[in-house]
Amino acid sequence: MKEIKHFINGECVGSDSGKTFEDRNPANNQLIATVHEGGQVEVDRAVAAARAALEGEWGLMPMAKRLDLVNKVAEGINARFDEFVEAECLDTGKPRALAAHVDIPRGAANFSFFADHVKNVATESFFTETLDSTGAINYGVRKPRGVIAVVSPWNLPLLLMTWKVGPALACGNTVVVKPSEETPHTAALLGEVMNDVGIPKGVYNVVHGFGPASAGEYLTRHPGVDGITFTGESRTGSVIMKAAAEGIRPVSLELGGKNPSIVFADADMDKVIEGCMRSVFINCGQVCFNTERVYVERPVFDEFLSRLKSAVEALKPGLWNADGSTMGPLISHEHRNKVLSYYKKAVDQGATVVTGGGIPKMPGDLADGAWIEPTIWTGLPENAAVVREEVFGPCCHVQPFDHEADVVRMANDTPYGLGASVWTENLSRAHRMGQQLDVGMLWVNSWFLRDLRTSFGGNKQSGVGREGGVHGLEFYSELRNVCINF
Ligand code: NAD
Ligand code: 6OD
């Protein structure tokens, strides 16, 4: 049986307590690894190693050499591409095509992009007039924030973890990562890559475990941590924000969503169906900005629904490496129970189930997996549970609308504000939506089209702060003003 250990100070180490937990493949519930569970001892060691690296070789390293090493991490991931793909697919059950086109290449790009990016970011400079007329000059200097705690989720494990580790290292910080207990594999593999390419010991550390009363809580409460970057549920974000208040540590929070897609009657319906199939069902509906509410202008409502239904019924659930499989399972049985409870609430509250609503019949040992049917509902009021609350499964409610102002009101009537997509060929309307929808990211005639130079984050309960491009530097570095009096 494979054993996954912590990665502390450049070495794979087991837990002092001897405590372990199971890593199971959600496609068939088979045990794939035993994982060491970290406690206070391992977190203390990882934070101490990160501090020593910051004050030692890494902190003293010239920027050019540091960024060259960060770039080499990207090369190192790409050199072991198939291994990363397989590890991600076994942990999550997602189809190979998804891991090979999104998770792993983006995981690598998160290092190469930020290694190039930070070189080109200017700081401000002002000439200041003084009373004696000699003048002074002010200029900004960016310094690493210090030891960064990275707490990440299971839905896009390598991508979302490196989205934080890449800029953190490029800015000169050191990190302690607490990956999701569901998906420990790729964070462990990345430790091997760090050693292979020559990242100094202690720069990248990983402690496995759970959240409360485990590695996640010990790490986020640790006084040796200078900043916490977290992706996960809004409820967890609130707990982490409280932990960060002790010691006044800054947080960057990427949290949940209840994202709308708005389809106007003038949209190109082929593009709409292709786009909504991705935005609702990709990764079995487990992407933070997945669409869970679709609003369709009444003249095209019936056409949209019947075409979306046909496309959904053509999805092929199957093992990650099976030919033609286009859909994986949910991450776990526990998560499936949560999603099924929402499927039940939808029916109890009067939904029409257009398709799905249950558990599919899967062959052989796949019957033991966390499979679920992709589901579409109509007919619910806007206050129904599946229209208000984040389900994080392959499902959406489809609602007709008549007026632009009505759909903007419904789209914004949520405690979340992460992402939205709008489908229209009317340019003026697209710009109006850009002004009116209360979200951090709006896609027009697309979804999840990413440019890493742009800001990424959510409004309201969907997050605090922005990462991406220069915006991430506000979290991963401290800006110092130097004032020189002539
Ligand atoms: P989660 O909040 O349950 O867990 C995320 C991580 O936090 C895990 O590593 C977990 O072990 C850890 N954790 C849990 N409780 C903790 C605590 N008290 N202290 C410290 N650490 C703790 O989230 P999840 O179920 O892994 O991920 C799904 C959620 O993440 C969804 O709500 C989704 O919308 C959100 N998400 C948001 C984004 C974004 O960019 N906004 C991206 C991906 C996922
Ligand atoms: O693409 C990204 O950079 C990113 N952070 C994606 C987040 C997806 C959420 O599940």
> Would the pTM of this model clear 0.85, i.e. be above it?
yes
Going by their DSSP bridges, the two strands 419-423 and 441-444 should be labelled as parallel
Decide: 240 in ligand 1 pocket, CB within 6 A. yes
Cα–Cα dist 261/278, whole Å? 12
127: exposed, middle or buried (Cβ count in 10 Å: 0-12, 13-18, 19+): exposed
Helix (H, G, I), strand (E, B) or coil at 37: coil
For residue 45, report the distance from its CA to the centre of ligand 1, in Å: 24
**Domain contains 248:** yes
Q: Are residues 249 and 301 in the same domain?
A: no
Q: Are residues 222 and 278 in the same domain?
A: no
Amino acid at the residue 29: N
Q: Are residues 91 and 211 in the same domain?
A: yes
State pLDDT tens for residues 69-99. 999 999 999 999 999 999 999 999 999 999 9
Decide: 184 in ligand 1 pocket, CB within 6 A. no
Buried b / exposed e over 56-77, threshold 16 CB at 10 Å, is eebbebeeeebbebbbbbbebb
Q: How many structural domains is the chain composed of?
A: 2
State pLDDT tens for residues 313-330. 999 999 999 999 999 999
Q: Are residues 302 and 187 in the same domain?
A: no
**Domain contains 200:** yes
Decide: 154 in ligand 1 pocket, CB within 6 A. yes
Q: What pLDDT is recorded for position 1?
A: 86
For residue 153, report the distance from its CA to the centre of ligand 1, in Å: 5
Q: Which residues contact 78 (CB under 8 A, 6 or more apart)?
A: 105, 108
State pLDDT tens for residues 280-291. 999 999 999 999
Q: Are residues 283 and 424 in the same domain?
A: yes
Residue 121 contacts residue 114 (beta carbons within 8 Å)? no
Measured from the CA of 452, which atom of ligand 2 is nearest?
3
Which CATH number do you get for residue 392?
3.40.309.10
Decide: 392 in ligand 1 pocket, CB within 6 A. yes
Segment 220-240 shows an average pLDDT of 98
Measured from the CA of 153, which atom of ligand 1 is nearest?
26
Decide: 255 in ligand 2 pocket, CB within 6 A. no
Q: Are residues 18 and 56 in the same domain?
A: yes
CA distance to 56, 312, 331, per residue, from 390 (Å): 44, 20, 16
Cα–Cα dist 154/286, whole Å? 9
Domain housing 317: 259-451
**Domain contains 456:** no
- Calculate what percentage of the chain has a pLDDT beyond 70: 100
Segment 424-443 shows an average pLDDT of 98
* pLDDT tops 90 at residue 190: yes
Q: Which residues make beta-bridge pairs with 175? A: 148, 204
State pLDDT tens for residues 363-389. 999 999 999 999 999 999 999 999 999
State pLDDT tens for residues 150-186. 999 999 999 999 999 999 999 999 999 999 999 999 9
Q: Are residues 124 and 56 in the same domain?
A: yes
Segment 195-204 shows an average pLDDT of 98
Choose among 164, 128, 161, 163: nearest CA to 145. Answer: 164
**Domain contains 184:** yes
363: exposed, middle or buried (Cβ count in 10 Å: 0-12, 13-18, 19+): exposed
* pLDDT tops 90 at residue 348: yes
State pLDDT tens for residues 441-479. 999 999 999 999 999 999 999 999 999 999 999 999 999
88: exposed, middle or buried (Cβ count in 10 Å: 0-12, 13-18, 19+): buried
Helix (H, G, I), strand (E, B) or coil at 49: helix
**Domain contains 136:** yes
Cα–Cα dist 49/28, whole Å? 38
**Domain contains 344:** yes
Cα–Cα dist 180/154, whole Å? 5
Q: Are residues 251 and 273 in the same domain?
A: no
Q: What pLDDT is recorded for position 364?
A: 97
**Domain contains 457:** no
CA distance to 77, 103, 183, 441, per residue, from 160 (Å): 15, 9, 12, 17
Q: Are residues 228 and 364 in the same domain?
A: no
Give catalytic residues, as residue numbers.
254, 288
For residue 160, report the distance from its CA to the centre of ligand 2, in Å: 6
Structure tokens at 254: 């990427």
State pLDDT tens for residues 90-139. 999 999 999 999 999 999 999 999 999 999 999 999 999 999 999 999 99
Cα–Cα dist 326/320, whole Å? 9
The string of DSSP letters for 222-290 reads -TT--EEEEES-HHHHHHHHHHHHTTT--EEEE----EEEEE-TTS-HHHHHHHHHHHHHGGGG-STT-
* pLDDT tops 90 at residue 27: yes
* pLDDT tops 90 at residue 349: yes
Which CATH number do you get for residue 180?
3.40.605.10
10: exposed, middle or buried (Cβ count in 10 Å: 0-12, 13-18, 19+): middle
Q: Which residues contact 292 (CB under 8 A, 6 or more apart)?
A: 258, 259, 280, 285, 386, 390, 391, 395, 396, 397
Q: Are residues 264 and 139 in the same domain?
A: no
Amino acid at the residue 159: L
Element (H, E) at 483: strand 477-485
Decide: 156 in ligand 2 pocket, CB within 6 A. yes
Residue 178 contacts residue 205 (beta carbons within 8 Å)? no
Measured from the CA of 153, which atom of ligand 2 is nearest?
10
Going by alpha carbons, the residue nearest to atom 15 of ligand 1 is 211
Residue 207 contacts residue 150 (beta carbons within 8 Å)? no
Q: Are residues 330 and 215 in the same domain?
A: no
Cα–Cα dist 154/121, whole Å? 32
Torsion sign across C-alpha atoms 374, 379, 381, 384: negative
Choose among 171, 58, 59: nearest CA to 118. Answer: 171
Q: Are residues 338 and 208 in the same domain?
A: no
**Domain contains 321:** yes
